[in-house]
Amino acid sequence: MPAPDTRLWAIDTPNTSYVVAVDEHDRLRGLHWGPRLSREQALALLELPESPFRPVVGREPRFDLGAASAFQYGHNGLQVRFADGTRDLELVFTEAIESEGGLEFVFTDRHYPLEVRARYRNHADSDVIERALTLRNNGTEPIEVVRADSATWVVPALDTPRLSQLHGEWGAETQLTRTTIPYGETVIGSRRGVTSHQANPWVAVDDGAATETSGRVWSTALAWSGSWRITVEKGPTGNVVVSAGFGHDPIAIRLGGGETLETPIAAGLHTERGFAGAASAWHEYTLAHVIPHPDEVRPILYNSWEATEFDFTAEDQMRLADRAAAMGCELFVMDDGWFGARVNDRAGLGDWTPNPDRFPDGLGPLIKHVHGLGMRFGIWVEPEMVNPDSDLYRAHPDWVYHQPHRRRSEVRQQLVLNLARQDVAEHIHAQLDELLSDNEIDFVKWDMNRPFTEAGWPGAEDPDRLWFDHTRNLYAILDRLRADHPDLRIESCSSGGGRVDFGILRRTDQVWTSDNTDALDRIAIQEGFAQAYAARVMGAWVTDSPNPLTRRAVPLDFRFHVAMAGVLAVGGDLRIWSDEEQARGAELVADYKRIRPTVQLGRRYPLRAGTVSGVQYAKDDAVVVLAWRAARSFAYPDPLLKLHGLDPDARYRDERTGRVHHGAILASHGLELGLDPADYASAMIELKRLP
């Protein structure tokens, strides 16, 4: 609410306030992002001393809307170039529009016909604030938009600010690191046209002392699945801003006369509950405001990729489906290799009709078989791609991104279709729509296996648009397919976890976390993933041992218990699993079905004690602990695991043993796990709060 005689506003959430004020130069300053303040308290922010204005030094980065203009030497979230070459903005505050759950500031340039709207949205049940920009060219000449960050969050001054980020690569996604923020600008992002394995659009800032369970944490995430950039800037006196936006340098957008540019949402969160508190706030926000069917627990899927790769017949798929159904799986997903001339990775991408040798009667018989087993049927597609050896490419060689006089670099013998072209987007939509209309397909795994190269669009008026319009058209196709096929559920995959972000999660039901299914590596990947993304969307397969990628041999229970911390699935070659393994697998699948609502919809707490780690999920009266220990040291006994979020006065019954524990003891001394002393020991423990 604005104060009557000032230009100050607070965006309030249940526990926090983000306070901004328009100063005498019409700049939007970030004054407070922390505990909730009353109006009177927020107004007192205006009385705090300001650091002196020293133009030679530059400014302290404290503007919520960082528009490039005089003396703004740091990172500017908003940068344009007008047709006459002018780059500086002089924004004039026009109005603030308040609505239910939202606040919008309108600025217009003092001279040029540019309107800038900064939009916030808050929710009654979440400390996450959403922010986006809308730019409108009210003139006739084009305006070049060099940078339009969705949000520039102003973090209060901290002693030794620290940055948490998720980095990685293929097979090693979402690795969490925390480093002291250096002075100047730290930039992470993707120039690949896709979210990327190398960096995920999520960061957290703390004062260097936050722990899992306590301390102040400021976190931001960008809801965008194309190229992106997050700039973390520490000014001379330690102030930090975090600016997040789509696009990458040197890409700019030409905004034509009358045109509007909407940025994606950047979401921001402050908590005093430490890193795990921040993570669970993101998870709760995901369930309440991001994913399409939040109350629906995900089925246990079987995916055939690691079992067969490209070498299979329809009959092979049916036999795998038989085994998967016997184990208790609920959704059978046929992966790559079913369409066009796709019997290896050299041909067929782009031709989304069943391979006539493998499926002489179409997909119908397989789908009928799978449905007959009581499972849903899912299928793999990679619609943004084409193999040069395909009917689609032979008919439309100009439909891929390319530049004149440049080679067309292939990755895995494939090129990227120019989805920014409306005709290409229409074609892709039509092919998928036909596939889904002609067949009873319940689930699609939508893959994207290579980054952009030579990203050109010969003949286009503004070829750089492709970096934005590719993602927009991808979203539009997904939205349209979902609307027309309401029972369809979609998994986002990009060579594993290369497209995991809050943009894709608005229109998909789960993501494929990593092609690395080694349980030990997965513990680290899942820990990083969980900083922002909920267990409800984290696809986790149990595969063969030794693992095909790492060659590590890991016992079946350990593999299952690690995968049970997310959306459990099976991806091994069930044709070679022994009867004993199949039977144990079925028991573990049944265990998972009991704990699934708690894991997928509950609150997550990371657990660690010495060589033992794990996760706890809690929902209503149910508490689930999944714990694992790869190796003991010096034959020391396993430590107890302290649990979190329990009622100290309540008692909790171990559903397996019947033993009753006091909440106070579980919290301050811990839970005895009874792990096998051998390596790769693991446990699943279900506790129920007694009335």
For 492, phi and psi rounded to 5 degrees?
-90, 130
Residues 278-317 that bind ligand GLA (CB under 6 A): 305
- Using CB under 6 A, which of 152, 190, 495, 526 touches ligand GLA? 495
- Using CB under 6 A, which of 515, 521, 544, 557 touches ligand GLA? 515
Contacts of 40 (CB under 8 A, 6+ apart): none
On whether 445 is known to bind a ligand per the annotation, the reply is: yes
On whether 493 is known to bind a ligand per the annotation, the reply is: yes
- Do 385 and 410 meet the contact criterion of CB atoms below 8 Å apart? no
Give the dihedral sign, CA 13/18/22/27. negative
Residues 410-429 that bind ligand GLA (CB under 6 A): none
On whether 509 is known to bind a ligand per the annotation, the reply is: no
- Do 130 and 106 meet the contact criterion of CB atoms below 8 Å apart? no
- Do 402 and 454 meet the contact criterion of CB atoms below 8 Å apart? yes
The upper half-sphere exposure of residue 306, i.e. CA atoms within 13 Å in the direction of its Cβ, equals 24
Give the helix ranges, DSSP H, for 530-655: 556-563, 579-601
493 part of the interface to ligand GLA, by CB under 6 A: yes
Report, in Å, the least distance between residue 348 CB and ligand GLA. Answer: 11
Which region among 39-47, 120-128, 198-206, 491-499 touches ligand GLA (by CB under 6 A)?
A: 491-499
Which region among 111-119, 350-358, 454-462, 492-500 touches ligand GLA (by CB under 6 A)?
A: 492-500
Question: 135 vs 320, which CB is nearer to ligand GLA?
Answer: 320
Question: 381 vs 626, which CB is nearer to ligand GLA?
Answer: 381
Question: 227 vs 495, which CB is nearer to ligand GLA?
Answer: 495
380 part of the interface to ligand GLA, by CB under 6 A: yes
On whether 336 is known to bind a ligand per the annotation, the reply is: yes
Residues 327-366 that bind ligand GLA (CB under 6 A): 335-336
Return the beta strands (E) in 513-670 as ranges. Answer: 538-542, 567-570, 603-609, 612-619, 622-629, 651-654, 660-662
Report, in Å, the least distance between residue 335 CB and ligand GLA. Answer: 5
Of all helices (H) and strands (E), which one includes residue 251?
A: none
Report, in Å, the least distance between residue 441 CB and ligand GLA. Answer: 16
- Using CB under 6 A, which of 142, 161, 496, 663 touches ligand GLA? 496
Over 309-375, what HEC string results? Answer: CCCCCHHHHHHHHHHHHHHCCCEEEECCCCECCCCCCCECCCCCCECCCCCCCCCHHHHHHHHHCCC
Report, in Å, the least distance between residue 403 CB and ligand GLA. Answer: 27
Question: 299 vs 497, which CB is nearer to ligand GLA?
Answer: 497
Question: 61 vs 496, which CB is nearer to ligand GLA?
Answer: 496
Report, in Å, the least distance between residue 536 CB and ligand GLA. Answer: 20
Residues 16-75 that bind ligand GLA (CB under 6 A): none
Dist CA 277 CA 281 (whole Å): 6
Question: 233 vs 335, which CB is nearer to ligand GLA?
Answer: 335
Nearest to 166 by CA among 194, 193, 206, 197: 197
How many other C-beta atoms lie within 10 A of the C-beta of residue 100? 5
Question: 380 vs 592, which CB is nearer to ligand GLA?
Answer: 380
Nearest to 321 by CA among 301, 336, 351: 301
Dist CA 135 CA 482 (whole Å): 29
C-alpha to C-alpha distances, 166 to 199, 442, 512, nearest whole angstrom: 6, 32, 16
Question: 335 vs 384, which CB is nearer to ligand GLA?
Answer: 335
Residue with the closest Cβ to ligand GLA?
A: 336
Report, in Å, the least distance between residue 237 CB and ligand GLA. Answer: 46
Report, in Å, the least distance between residue 139 CB and ligand GLA. Answer: 46
On whether 515 is known to bind a ligand per the annotation, the reply is: yes
Give the helix ranges, DSSP H, for 622-691: 663-668
449 part of the interface to ligand GLA, by CB under 6 A: yes
Count Cβ atoms within 10 A of the Cβ of residue 404 and give its class: 0-12 exposed, 13-18 middle, 19 or more buried: exposed
- Tokens for 153? 């969050």
On whether 457 is known to bind a ligand per the annotation, the reply is: no
Which region among 119-127, 413-421, 472-480, 488-496 touches ligand GLA (by CB under 6 A)?
A: 488-496
Report, in Å, the least distance between residue 303 CB and ligand GLA. Answer: 7
243 part of the interface to ligand GLA, by CB under 6 A: no
Query: What is the three-class DSSP state of 41?
Result: helix
Q: List 172's β-bridge partners, or say none.
A: none
Q: Which residues are catalytic?
A: 447, 515
On whether 449 is known to bind a ligand per the annotation, the reply is: yes
Report CA dihedral (663, 667, 673, 674) to the nearest 10 degrees: -80
On whether 446 is known to bind a ligand per the annotation, the reply is: yes
443 part of the interface to ligand GLA, by CB under 6 A: no
Nearest to 74 by CA among 192, 227, 242, 218: 242
Annotated binding-site residues read 170, 335-336, 412, 445-449, 493, 515
Annotated binding-site residues for substrate read 170, 335-336, 412, 445-449, 493, 515
Contacting positions for ligand GLA (CB under 6 A): 305, 335-336, 380, 447, 449, 493, 495-496, 512, 515
